[in-house]
Structure 1
Amino acid sequence: MAKLEFTVPDTLNGARLDKAVVALAPGASRARVKKAIEGGDVRVNGRTLAKGGVVATGDIIAIDEAAVKSGDSPCLPEPEAPLVVRHASAAVLVVDKPAGQPTAPLREGEMGTLANALLGHYPDLDGIGYSAREPGIVHRLDTETSGLVVAARTADAFETLREALKDEKIEKEYLLVCKSEGLPDEGTIEYPIANHPKDKRRVYPCIHPRDVIRYEPRAASTRYQVETRVGPWALVRAEAKRAIRHQLRAHFAALGHPLVGDTLYGGEEVSGLARHALHAARVAWDGEGNKELAFDVVSELPEDMAKLVR
């Protein structure tokens, strides 16, 4: 694609560079704009700006079109799709995703995801988020994980929530069911997690120091406490503020206590449970003084998991 050049108008005088580029470049992806700026691929008057730099009237912004435009096809709205909203403000939505529903589409034209329902009920989410297929969505859940997902209703709210998530300020609690025998009443799991070297469907908890050197994993910490024990199973409340991909599933499997139904990580199949026993039960943030951004939302344990520990 061609090189894009824009002259900053009076209306964007003093604006942050990333916001100015998004406003001036039609179809620009916010996530890709930030990445391009961090990589030094956006120039203002021939020079790069530090993170958080601002522009002034008359400045010339130059950037490759391919560096800022998202290649994603848009998410299609489904206004008639069911959507359980647990919290709504002018800035934030917290919705309850059922097990079996993908968070966002992976293929062009895919329907039936949480993102399709969100966009159908809240058209103003269009253009907000990491990509066109994830309107407003701040974090994902695995398809077979049920529970709470946070979405932003404005671009500013999305950036604030994204930073809060990255800085581990948003509280995220999960309920899971695993084998009870031998599991301590509480503990912290701190195995770093890497992409699996042989199976793209899984992640790899690096238990041995040699694996840390070999695979360059990401840090991951899971705190947990057993809530109740019934027969062979334990209902566990776990906290993982960042919760990288498959973190809880891989961590409990590494302990020798894979989630019930999580056959990918060695969990036992049980009658009446058609997925892994993991539920995002609570999300909370104080908003750091902004009431529109603050939330503390709880989702009850779904019936298919509850009957295991009744």
Structure 2
Amino acid sequence: MLTDLTFTVSPQEAGTRLDAALLARCPTSSRAFCRHAVEAGRVRVNGRPGLKGGKLRAEDIVQVQRLKERADNRVQPDAAVPVDLVFADEALLAFNKPAGIAVQPLSSDERGTLMNGAVARFPELAALGDQPLMAGALHRIDTETSGLVLAARTVQAFAALRAQFAAQTVEKRYLAVVEGHVAVPGRLAHDLAHHPGLDFCRMVDARSLAGPVRRLHAETAYRPLGFIGPSTLLEVTIFTGVTHQIRCQLALGGWPIVNDILYGARPVAGCARHLLHALAARFTHPVSGRPCCIEAPAPEAFRPMSEGERTRGAPGALTAPSAM
């Protein structure tokens, strides 16, 4: 845990991100917890609030104040969070998460995430899962990504569904709006790795890194569904579950997701998110044993333009921030 820590940045740490330096100094804390410490304003650099992505300089003084992980580290209910429930039975819940909120909190003091809202409506979730702050959620999607999130309602259902995720038998489909026109379907396969040190939140092609790295194999299939102005709407199916898999692989293929600045896309004025939506998941139901497919409807921003709209030169849904 982090608590009342003060240290001076060494020459070897110069240029390191603040959250990465905290993780190196406090190996018993999680990466997410170190990021939360910075975001919560509990970390100061030379007397000023630190920035999560800020780079440190030699001789900087870093102070971490009164930040402790509670013994009861469960997700707390927050009825103010709207919950869009798209499926529910005795074993399973499925939510359509809006862009802009996280799936789970980073500490038990945090509110405003999807699972805070879910626990307020389904209190049994708080005691489920192999990580207390997941509250029965079976997987994560990025904060800026909208769409389907599955959660188990019983211990048995959680174990059965987690086994399917671990075995990579859950088929996950997404919608992505990418820069440029993609004419034909295809499939991407890469070994990905976390960018070392200064930018560990970004994934890269492992071949671009020198030295030994942990390689994570990722496979993604895509097919074009239509055009939205100068961009293409893709249906994307992933067969593995690597962090930022779709975002990184599409960028490596030359088609970054619209407004995904982290992976090289151009910023879009008035668009507060990257255009990626978790559309559907296909799996075996943990109780009935039958095939099950659940979908989460996509926002209007993911609607391809009709031929008439293209002929009239209509801007398409991409330019309607209210739909994003």
Q: TM-score, normalised by structure 1?
A: 0.71
Once the two structures are superposed, residues 38-90 of structure 1 have per-residue CA deviations (whole angstroms, 9 ceiling, x without a partner) of xxxxxxxxxxxxxxxxxxxxxxxxxxxxxxxx967221112343111111110
Distance in 2 between the 1:285 and 1:123 partners? 25
SS of the equivalent of 2:262 reads helix
After superposition, residues 155-304 of structure 1 pair within 5 angstroms as: 155-181=155-181, 183-197=182-196, 198-206=198-206, 208=207, 211=209, 214-287=212-285, 290-291=287-288, 295-304=292-301
SS of the equivalent of 1:76 reads coil
Distance in 2 between the 1:243 and 1:303 partners? 26
Is the contact between residue 91 and residue 293 of structure 1 (CA under 8 Å) also seen in structure 2?
no
Q: 1:212 to 1:286 in 2, by over 3 A?
A: farther
SS of the equivalent of 1:148 reads strand
Q: TM-score, normalised by structure 2?
A: 0.68
Residue type at the aligned position of 2:119: L
SS of the equivalent of 1:191 reads strand
**What does residue 34 of structure 2 align with?**
none
**What does residue 77 of structure 1 align with?**
77
Give the superposed CA RMSD.
2.3
Distance in 2 between the 1:254 and 1:194 partners? 13
**What does residue 142 of structure 2 align with?**
142
Shift of 1:292: 7.6
Q: Any unmatched runs of 5+ in structure 2? A: 1-69, 304-316
Q: 1:262 to 1:295 in 2, by over 3 A?
A: same
Q: 1:89 to 1:242 in 2, by over 3 A?
A: farther
> Percent of counterpart pairs with the same letter?
33
Is the contact between residue 230 and residue 309 of structure 1 (CA under 8 Å) also seen in structure 2?
no
Is the contact between residue 196 and residue 204 of structure 1 (CA under 8 Å) also seen in structure 2?
yes
Q: Which runs of 4+ in 1 moved over 6 A?
A: none
**Number of residue pairs the alignment of both structures matches:** 237
Residue type at the aligned position of 1:271: A
Shift of 1:231: 2.9
Is the contact between residue 284 and residue 297 of structure 1 (CA under 8 Å) also seen in structure 2?
yes
Q: Any unmatched runs of 5+ in structure 1? A: 1-69
**What does residue 36 of structure 2 align with?**
none
Distance in 1 between the 2:262 and 2:71 partners? 31
Residue type at the aligned position of 1:304: A
Distance in 1 between the 2:71 and 2:236 partners? 36
